[in-house]
Amino acid sequence: EVQLVQSGAEVKKPGATVKISCRVSGYTFTDYYMHWIQQAPGKGLEWMGLVDPEDGARMYAEKFQNRLTITADTSTDTSYMELSSLRFDDTAIYYCATVKAGRTFDYWGQGSLVTVSS
């Protein structure tokens, strides 16, 4: 059974950095890109970026380009999403997700809530 298990909720101050993990099981980690998706409270889904665990190559959405780092650790089958210079509007649930067959986001983590509060 494929599972993506994310780290827990975080509370951060404006300007801080948050790092969320996503540990996978049930498939070969390097077989699929790992994507990260933001969902602000009561809002829709926004793709943030991805990493290819095979070679570490990354792509980021323009909106997050300067503040986002996505990595993959093949020794622990874990992907990390680090967002810096946090703002109040970064308060959101962050999901990791994989695309299995070149189309849809088939497997999702349970989500990690990040609250930015002073």
From residue 106, how far is each of 33, 68, 82, 86 by CA, in Å? Answer: 12, 23, 23, 29
Distance from C-alpha of 17 to C-alpha of 80, rounded to nearest angstrom? 13
Q: Which stretch binds another protein (CB under 8 A): 8-16, 72-80, 84-92, 97-105?
A: 97-105
66 binds another protein (CB under 8 A): no
104 binds another protein (CB under 8 A): yes
45 binds another protein (CB under 8 A): yes
DSSP 10: E
Query: Which one of 10, 16, 47, 91 is in contact with another protein (CB under 8 A)?
Result: 47
